[in-house]
Chains A and B, each alone.
Chain A
């Protein structure tokens, strides 16, 4: 504390762009150091963990393709969430919207397992988006009409979605030939996404996520509607003064966020999973919150942060195998990364100034 109290934060006259780029990098370095210390304390070989987590995912094409596969849902969800966060609509229930997207998409192969045709997977993606958006209708209505915090309602909706998924998988949607495992039938060929790169599991959803990124960039940087959302997030009173409707901003934010998360959920079941199963709810919705903040809520920044978090996921799997590191270490890494990032970005708006000598009495 004594070191800190010798300094004071002084607001910059405008945000520093240089620091805005450097802060995430500094935060990443600090996080790596902190976590390596943690691994050492746990008696692990820190060098091996570091190598497995952050180097291995990048050295072979097959593992990098897995990174791209992981990155896709993170990128999709985070782009949607970031738009809401900038409008000060804090949707932390992407996990539930993602699950609903997966459920809606799975309804086609579950109900029509014999259907064929090239229209099936696009329809599944669309349904997934709609499912996610529908799950966001409740928090939107609650906030606009009932003045209730969307933070709590979106989170509660996620917890309910998990139960709904469990219900479907042990009940009506359980695969009758599945040895009583809580999972649906395997989807037919036409109900899975076309692969993008032969020999890998990377599918068209990656292209979709990149297109969404570009669209989000144009929307937030160039469109007047995006501008209105940002005004509402920064200064709600200025928004009312200009006559931008708050209710529209809330609806837009939640529906966009829900749609993007639902899309990601659909792409997950129609992509790498190929069936609806419990592991679809593996925390992408929560990780995407970190991705969104880490990318500075900026569509391009999010492109990089989603890549980083995806590397960590794959690297965490590697470390579990090679260094016997529990999977939970990845969550600790993510959490501490966000903590370090939030600490670092203070310097984007503030300068650290050494407090001058004490005043004479």
Chain B
């Protein structure tokens, strides 16, 4: 067997008290697609940052093409022939594509422009070099990132969760690009938590759990259940099928909603129609950046639009002009996708964070805060929703993403809403907690609450929703009954193929 392209021995990285990577060993062969598989928080991203030189390890060694190396900076990693495509892209919105690329690739603008075009054609990564990045879709931005890496002529390309921002059809196109790259001698480190993807494209998989390697296998020889067990240390939690139920009264209605945001880089919305009744779960699918953020702010009341007062109705009342607090008075509750700084104040204790939305639950009297009730409410939320924390006085910013999400979901459910809106319910949450959150949402539906979910994980939507609508370029598709729809159908809406077909 030839010497591996990259070998890691005993790589360790600690952040404060968190041991993100513990003694990682890894061998990446030349010309292979190698998966790093693990749950959220397993230490995948940290490992990639160590390989790309963004972070330096506390201990361990890196052997690159037979030699010990110290990857002290991304520039050094690039010089050695390692490129990386980040999950949250490292692109600059106010710069053009070619300017972004010139930040790490030497050469005149004219030369770079020409090379961007050639590479784009060669690998199916077409993008306009002179366009500003803020005008590009998420898929196009990913292409820019990949081209930028390819232009540094890497031997190893790292991709961090590359499919999480793509519709199913584009995933196929990305895989073709990756296979072509491998055939030309570029090795690829492919980070993912999606088992089927890894089985379909990767030659080798290393599995991480709690910062340690728990398996090193050929993914094609194992089924998804095996992989899952290695990944989470036990069997996948069972999902509970939803009880069929007759929908009740209309709780949320968007009728022909148009919106032009203040932010010139944001997506404008047009002709949004949506109806959500008591006792059902409606999901909104779509590739990120197609107007989800703007839509959720309009529904939550963080953006108010007096002109659209009548286009947004909650519990039968026009609410477009009302702010978030006024909508909550009608029985609305909301879990935003950003937990720190939006759903919770990082510097405040959990107790003070309950006050954010639960103040109407008798925690405030005559304008004064009742600390005892505040503490009791918080303690109940922590106990009922399995929030792992030292106690109500812990700062929200000190909690892990998953625990904070459990806290916020718990807080909002404890408000006993008639209409609950959850954006990205399980982002960054481990599998056990994610399935617990999904079960809670289904329970609420069965109790007659109207539940609206925005998610980029189609599988999640299929698991719990009654109906799904797809958002694309600020427009919302008609509702599709989940029981009569296939994932591929949703995928077609996500890339706009349905419209072109005239449906």
Contacts and interface: CB of A to CB of B under 8 A. Distances in A.
Interface of A: 10-11, 13-15, 222-225, 227, 230-231, 234-235, 237-238, 240-245, 356, 359-361
Contacts of B16: 10-11
A239 to B, nearest CB: 9
B402 to A, nearest CB: 17
Q: What are the 10 A-B residue pairs with the smallest beta carbon separation, nearest first?
A: A243-B325, A243-B324, A13-B398, A361-B70, A237-B342, A235-B345, A240-B302, A224-B364, A14-B395, A243-B323
B69 A241 contact: no
A238 B364 contact: no
A262 B57 CA distance: 57
A266 B159 CA distance: 66
Given A14-B398, A224-B364, A238 B342 contact: yes
Interface in B41-61: 56-61
B345 A234 contact: yes
Given A14-B394, A227-B355, A245 B368 contact: no
Given A237-B342, A242-B324, A243-B325, A361 B356 contact: no
22 contacts: A10-B16, A13-B395, A14-B394, A15-B347, A223-B367, A224-B367, A231-B345, A235-B341, A235-B345, A237-B338, A237-B342, A240-B302, A241-B342, A241-B356, A242-B325, A242-B356, A242-B357, A243-B323, A243-B324, A244-B325, A359-B60, A361-B62
Contacts of A10: 16
A227 B355 CA distance: 9
Contacts of B56: 359
A241 B341 CA distance: 10
B361 to A, nearest CB: 13
Interface stretch (B94-102, B129-137, B326-334): B326-334
Interface string B64-96: 000011100000000000000000000000000
Contact of A361 (B69, B338, B347, B398): B69
A222 B327 CA distance: 25
A360 B69 CA distance: 9
B383 interface: no
Interface in B117-142: none
Interface in B381-434: 393-395, 398
Nearest to B340: A235
Contacts, number: 90
B303 to A, nearest CB: 9
B305 interface: no
Interface residues of B, number: 45
Nearest to B358: A242
Nearest to A238: B345
A223 B346 CA distance: 20
B248 to A, nearest CB: 26
Given A11-B16, A359-B57, A241 B336 contact: yes
Contacts of B58: 356, 359
B16 to A, nearest CB: 5
Given A223-B369, A238-B356, A242-B325, 11 more contacts: A15-B395, A224-B355, A224-B369, A231-B345, A235-B347, A238-B344, A243-B324, A244-B325, A359-B57, A360-B68, A361-B70
Given A223-B367, A235-B345, A245-B323, A13 B68 contact: no
Contacts of A244: 325
Which of B62, B323, B346 is packed against the most chain A CB atoms within 10 Å? B323
Contact of A231 (B327, B334, B356): B356
Contacts of A360: 59, 61, 68
Contacts of B355: 224, 227
Contacts of A242: 324-325, 356-357
Contacts of B328: 243
Nearest to A218: B368
A299 B122 CA distance: 66
B354 to A, nearest CB: 11
Which of A11, A224, A225, A231 is packed against the most chain B CB atoms within 10 Å? A224
Contacts of B301: 243
B359 interface: yes
B192 interface: no
A244 B326 CA distance: 10
Contacts of A230: 348
Which of A222, A230, A240, A243 is packed against the most chain B CB atoms within 10 Å? A243
Given A241-B300, A360-B61, A13 B394 contact: yes
A40 to B, nearest CB: 41
B327 A243 contact: yes
A286 B122 CA distance: 64
Contacts of A238: 341-345, 356
B39 interface: no
B352 interface: yes
A361 B369 contact: no
A345 to B, nearest CB: 13
Contacts of B300: 241
Interface string B355-382: 1110100001001110000000000000
